[in-house]
Amino acid sequence: MSDSLLKSPVPRIINLGSGSKGNSSVICLGEKILMVDCGFNRKQTLLRMAEMGLNPDQVCGILVTHEHGDHMQGARLCSQKMDAPILATAGTISGGNMSALNHQILRRGEIIAHHGFEITTLKISHDTKEPCAFLVEAAGVRTLFATDVGTVEGLDLRPMKDLDYLYVESNHDEVMLRTGPYPAFLKNRIIGDGGHLNNHQSGLLIRSLAAQSPQLKSIMLAHLSHENNDPEKALVTTRECAGELPGVIWDVARQHEPREMAG
Ligand SMILES: [Zn+2]
Ligand SMILES: [Zn+2]
């Protein structure tokens, strides 16, 4: 093994919490931390980082997938206090009133390098101005962050290949949502092309992505609805739809508890 390989740090992928009340993850590589969404207020973000032994001074950028509060509630203050730029599409920057902040515009379909991370911005369908998913490569390890995916129809899966880690939305159980307490307009919004994936749709998406990712190590189901899903149900349905994936570790992100992706 060459010296550079021996010294090459292994990235850690940690979810700080996920659900309709806030979403945030980090990828740590050496002395650098890249944040993906900042949907908790600054105090909560710092508490959760401390719980996982993470130093906020090492944050070198905050990716924001779209301007809904559960993805950017803490982004403005964290960006200022951590002296880290916001990286997002032009639509998300304007939709989230972030143009006065230190920021970098990302274009969907493009790849950029940022402090040792390679970031691909990918188009998804959701009811915001210019939402996206992110594929982040760190020291050769590839992680896809895909939440708030309204529909898999028309989703370009081609760049979402050779994944090591898959962090993917599994928002609701179809029957729980249909028979649950939400008003009709909200149910329709969640089911619609600008809403969220159900467990079944998520499982089928995982199946397609796993088929083009032979080295896939770990899957974390994310953005579960508190009212219309539960972790066990999400795991059972998605695993059933995804089919046999030998050696792959499955887990479920929680709203109130940070978790590191295994693998
Ligand atoms: Zn959203
Ligand atoms: Zn969301």
Annotated domain spans of the chain:
10-253
The CA 56 to ligand 2 mean position distance, Å, reads 23
Q: What is the mean pLDDT of residues 145-161?
A: 96
Contact 41, 77 (CB under 8 A): yes
Q: Which residues make up the environment of ion ligand 1, defined by Cβ < 5 Å?
A: 68, 148
**CA dihedral (216, 239, 166, 107) positive or negative:** positive
Nearest ligand (C-alpha, residue 19): 2
CA distances from 221 to 58, 131, 168, 225, 252 (A): 26, 19, 5, 11, 5
Q: Which residues make up the environment of ion ligand 2, defined by Cβ < 5 Å?
A: 70, 148
Q: Per-residue pLDDT tens for 6-36?
A: 455 899 999 999 999 999 999 999 999 999 9
The CA 147 to ligand 2 mean position distance, Å, reads 7
Q: What is the pTM of this model?
A: 0.96
The CA 38 to ligand 2 mean position distance, Å, reads 11
CB neighbourhood size of 237 (10 A): 21
Nearest ligand (C-alpha, residue 126): 1
Confidence of residue 223 (pLDDT cuts 50, 70, 90): very high
CA distances from 14 to 50, 92, 96, 106, 214 (A): 12, 23, 24, 23, 22
Helices (H), 68-163: 69-72, 75-82, 90-95
Smallest CA-to-CA distance from 239 within 210, 214, 203, 205 is with 203
Residues 6+ apart with CB under 8 A from 133: 65, 122, 124, 144, 145, 146, 147, 149, 160
Pairwise CA distance, residues 118 & 58, whole Å: 17
Q: Per-residue pLDDT tens for 43-60?
A: 999 999 999 999 999 999
Q: Per-residue pLDDT tens for 225-263?
A: 999 999 999 999 999 999 999 999 999 999 999 999 998
The CA 186 to ligand 2 mean position distance, Å, reads 14
What's the topology of domain 10-253? Answer: Metallo-beta-lactamase; Chain A (3.60.15)
> How many residues belong to the chain?
263
Confidence of residue 4 (pLDDT cuts 50, 70, 90): very low
Smallest CA-to-CA distance from 252 within 215, 202, 186 is with 202
Nearest ligand (C-alpha, residue 169): 2
Q: What is the DSSP string of 202-245?
A: HHHHHHHHHHT-TT--EEEEE---TTT--HHHHHHHHHHHH---
